[in-house]
């Protein structure tokens, strides 16, 4: 047998693990007669590990989908091998996968709930907020020391422990009790629902917020200055809410332009 | 005293029988503060952590000496080392006051894809050079010795031109690292490949073994699987007795991840280590046996 480099050996093993064709194994595993069975141990370990991670990340989707969750999750895992070591954040693709799956399912298949992709997006946002680093506490005295002109030129930085979501569905009710959907025959809201996903102290939660607040917080996340914020017709009515957002920890710090 | 000597000196706080810290047990541990000499933290669960995770981590580390055990470094990979990950590990070592950090002689990342498993390396001269160089880079960066753990395996490569014991001990000698000897992994691999586990022990540089893992396996068809889902298996206890009959005792602990029992049940399992460490003393010099 010709000598293979370490890189070639690793490439062939991964190819054999992910392309399970018993007749075309490349990894030169011995003894050859049990190579396929032995590789299957790794395939199974990897799949189960990712599946367990998705169960942990999307517990409400598991409740909503029942046994179908595993079937769908396994399909998604096959297409989404992680590019990071941190399994706590595996699953960023899952809401999009559910959305495509719902659209592409055959007519005979029992349809997935319409809200499932948005629910998954909210669960993933909760996960990210839960694991986000602690941010600083906004320093009011530093802000007060600035001249009025300098205050107008600063940008307010939102905490990494917060995310903003919008959906046609009442996600906070669904996250609290997924049976709410079946019991209340929920309908899509044309106006939409707006949410702040946030970790306060120890727990991440989803709070429904007014559309105006959502737009104003989005503007801050896009880096508008305080002067722009208080002049723009879309955001100026939210100036009064800034103090409340700061005290809730949604605004972490300020940055000069 | 050099950094590495300093780390080795403070590591005397890690002695006896410890436990792998598992998140469902933390509340019980913090409220009852059981008499456990040290805990091993799964490093990857405590990286980049804020909020509750950081608070719990601090609470544990204020009360107990800890060591860190990683799975995400992919030491044996041919992909570049992940320096951002290593920087996070370095911060974690500082924040937790961990006495040492261990990783596996395996690879998990290849061509940018990361799999949640520890894939075995071929036992070749190139792999020895590659793994040893990477360990030295990590040790230089962390300014402390790394503990290298042997992994369980289900495959062997036709490319290998030596046995696992020769491969592993050569890497340890060339890199100057220490050893986390996983006796469950050793037994599982030996069984799956029809080889003698004690032959691996014979080849280890004895003084380099700083920590031992004990765990339970399960049987699946003709293979043993490293599941960490039950009590320590009897053949693994036997291997531990063999180790204690030959070598001075080193810190040892139970790894239990799946079907996790309550803390009290886990602590009963730990007491078996305590009993063995007390009653079994080296009766023969290593060279007389091996």
pLDDT tens-digit series, residues A102-128: 888 776 777 888 999 999 999 999 999
Q: Under a CB-based contact definition with an 8 Å cutoff, are residues A41 and B154 in contact?
A: yes
Greater model confidence, A19 or A121? A121
Yes or no, beta carbons of B157 and A42 under 8 Å apart: no
Centre a 10 Å sphere on the Cβ of residue B1 and count the other Cβ atoms it contains: 8
- Number of CB atoms found within 10 A of residue A2's CB: 5
Report yes or no on A4 lying in a domain: no
Q: Which residue of A1, A4, A7, A10 to mutate against B (max B Cβ within 10 Å)? A: A10
**Comparison of pLDDT for A200 and B97, the residue scoring more:** B97
Q: Which residues of chain B have pLDDT under 70?
A: 1-11, 48-49, 284-290
Q: What is the pLDDT of residue A27?
A: 78
Q: Which residue has the higher pLDDT, B79 or A201?
A: B79
Contact of B176 with B139, CB cutoff 8 Å: yes
Percent above pLDDT 70 for chain A: 96
A188 domain-assigned = yes
Q: Is residue B97 part of a domain?
A: yes
Could you say which DSSP state residue B38 is in?
-
Q: Tell me, what's the pLDDT at B4?
A: 47
Cβ contact, residue pair B108, A201, below 8 Å: no
Closest CB to A84 among B53, B111, B114: B114
Residue A16 included in any domain: no
The pLDDT of residue B236 is 98
In chain A, pLDDT over 90 holds for what percent of residues?
63
Query: Which of the four pLDDT bands, split at 50, 70 and 90, describes residue A185?
Result: low
Q: Which residues of A touch B53 (CB under 8 A)?
A: 130-131
CATH of the domain at B47: 3.20.20.150
Q: How many residues does chain A have?
A: 257
B287 domain-assigned: no
Confidence (pLDDT) at A74:
96
Greatest mean pLDDT among A102-106, A142-146, A185-189 lies in A142-146
Query: What is the total count of domains within chain B?
Result: 1
CA distance B211 to B17: 10
Q: Does the beta-carbon distance from A10 to B112 stay under 8 Å?
A: no
CB–CB contact B107 A10 (8 Å): yes
pLDDT tens track for B43-85: 999 986 677 788 899 999 999 999 999 999 999 999 999 999 9
Provide the pLDDT for residue B7.
45
A245 located within any domain: yes
Q: In this complex, do B114 and A81 lie within 8 Å of one another by their Cβ atoms?
A: yes
Q: What is the mean pLDDT of residues A48-70?
A: 95
SS (H, E, C) chain A: CCCCCHHHHHHHHHHHHHCCCHHHCCCCEECHHHHHHHHHHHHHHHHHHHHHHHHHHCHHHHHHHCCHHHHHHHHHHHHCCECCCCHHHCCCCHHHHHHHHHHHCCCCCCCCCCCHHHHHHHHHHHHHHHHCCCCCCCCHHHHHCCCHHHHHHEEEEECCCEEEEEECCCHHHHHHCCHHHHHHCCCCCCCCEEEEEEEECCEEEEEEECHHHHHHHHHHHCCCEHHHHHHCCCCHHHHHHHHHHHHCCCEEEEEEC
Is there a domain that residue A17 lies in? no
A130/B77 CB distance under 8 A: no
Cα B217 to chain centroid, rounded: 16
What is the ipTM for the molecules in this complex? 0.92
Q: Please name which of A85, A223, A97 lies closest in space to residue A153, comparing C-alpha atoms.
A: A223
Asked if B156 lies within 8 A of A30 by C-beta distance, the reply is yes
pLDDT value at position B288?
Answer: 44
Reply yes or no on whether the pLDDT at A178 is more than 90: no
In chain B, which residues have their Cβ closer than 8 Å to the Cβ of A10?
77-78, 107, 110, 119
In a domain, B180, yes or no: yes
Please choose, from the candidates A160, A141, A156, A148, the residue with its C-alpha nearest in 3D space to the C-alpha of residue A255. Answer: A156
- Distance separating alpha carbons of residues B35 and B16, to the nearest angstrom: 12
- A193/B269 Cα distance (integer angstroms): 52
- Retrieve residue B21's tokens: 């810290």
| Whether residue A31 has a cis bond before it, omega within 30° of 0 | yes
DSSP secondary structure, B255-272, as one string: ---TT---HHHHHHHHHH
Q: Which of A27-31, A201-205, A207-211 has the highest mean pLDDT?
A: A207-211
Q: Which of B77, B119, B158 sits opposite A30 (nearest CB)?
A: B158
Q: How far is B277 from chain A (nearest CA, A)?
A: 33
* Minimal CA separation from A69 to chain B, in Å: 20
Number of compact structural domains in chain A: 1
pLDDT value of position A181: 64
pTM over 0.80: yes
The residue ranking higher by pLDDT, B210 or A133, is B210
CB contact under 8 A, A17 and B115: yes
Whether the CB-CB separation of B203 and B123 falls below 8 Å is answered with no
Whole domain around residue A173: which residue ranges?
A: 39-256
Domain range for residue B21? Answer: 3-279
Average pLDDT of the segment spanning A175-200: 80
pLDDT-derived band of residue A182, with 50, 70 and 90 as boundaries?
Answer: low
Nearest CA in chain B to A87: B116
Which of B252, B250, B247 lies closest to B232 in space, CA to CA?
A: B252
């Amino acid at each position: 047998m010709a000598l293979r480099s370490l890189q070639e050996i690793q490439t062939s093993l991964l190819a054999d693990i992910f392309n399970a064709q018993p007749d075309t194994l490349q990894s030169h595993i011995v003894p050859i007669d049990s190579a396929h069975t032995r590789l299957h141990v790794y395939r199974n370990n990897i799949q189960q590990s990712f599946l367990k991670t998705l169960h942990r990340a999307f517990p409400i989707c598991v409740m909503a989908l029942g046994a179908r969750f595993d079937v769908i999750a396994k399909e998604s895992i096959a297409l989404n091998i992680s590019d990071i070591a941190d399994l706590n954040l595996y699953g960023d693709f899952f809401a999009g996968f559910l959305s495509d799956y719902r659209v592409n399912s055959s007519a005979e298949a029992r349809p997935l709930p319409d809200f499932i992709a948005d629910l998954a997006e909210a669960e993933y946002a909760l996960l990210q907020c839960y694991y986000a680093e602690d941010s600083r506490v906004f320093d009011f005295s530093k802000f007060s020391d600035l001249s009025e002109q300098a205050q107008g030129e600063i940008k307010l930085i939102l905490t990494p422990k917060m995310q903003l979501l919008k959906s046609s569905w009442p996600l906070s009710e669904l996250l609290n009790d997924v049976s709410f959907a079946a019991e209340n025959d929920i309908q899509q809201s044309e106006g939409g629902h707006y949410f702040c996903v946030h970790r306060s102290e120890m727990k991440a939660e989803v709070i429904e917020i007014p559309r105006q607040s959502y737009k104003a917080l989005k503007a801050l996340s896009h880096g508008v200055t305080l002067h722009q914020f208080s002049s723009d017709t879309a955001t100026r009515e939210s100036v009064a809410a800034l103090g409340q957002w700061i005290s809730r920890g949604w605004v972490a710090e300020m940055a000069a332009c | 005293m050099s950094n590495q000597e300093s780390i080795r000196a403070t590591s005397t706080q890690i002695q006896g029988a410890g436990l792998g810290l598992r998140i469902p047990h933390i509340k019980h541990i913090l409220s009852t503060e059981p008499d456990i000499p040290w805990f091993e933290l799964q490093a990857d669960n405590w990286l980049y952590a804020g909020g509750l995770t950081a608070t719990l981590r601090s609470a544990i580390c204020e009360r107990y000496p800890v060591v860190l055990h990683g799975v995400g470094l992919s030491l044996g990979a041919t992909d570049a080392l992940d320096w951002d990950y290593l920087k996070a590990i370095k911060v974690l070592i500082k924040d937790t006051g961990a006495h040492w950090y261990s990783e596996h002689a395996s690879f998990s990342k290849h061509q940018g894809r990361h799999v949640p498993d520890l894939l075995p390396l071929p036992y070749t001269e190139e792999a020895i050079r590659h793994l040893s160089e990477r360990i030295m880079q990590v040790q230089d960066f962390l300014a402390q010795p790394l503990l290298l753990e042997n992994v369980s395996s289900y495959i062997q490569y036709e490319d290998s031109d030596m046995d696992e014991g020769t491969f592993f001990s050569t890497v340890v000698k060339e890199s100057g690292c220490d050893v986390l000897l996983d006796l469950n992994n050793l037994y599982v691999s030996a069984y799956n490949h029809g080889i003698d586990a004690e032959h691996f022990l014979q080849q280890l540089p004895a003084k380099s073994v700083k920590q031992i893992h004990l765990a339970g396996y399960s049987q699946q068809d003709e293979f043993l699987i490293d599941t960490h889902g039950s009590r320590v298996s009897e053949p693994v206890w036997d291997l531990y007795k063999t180790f204690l009959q030959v070598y001075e005792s080193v810190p040892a602990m139970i790894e239990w991840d799946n079907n996790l029992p309550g803390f009290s049940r886990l602590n009963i399992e730990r007491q078996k280590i305590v009993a063995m460490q007390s009653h079994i003393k080296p009766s023969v010099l290593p060279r007389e046996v091996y």
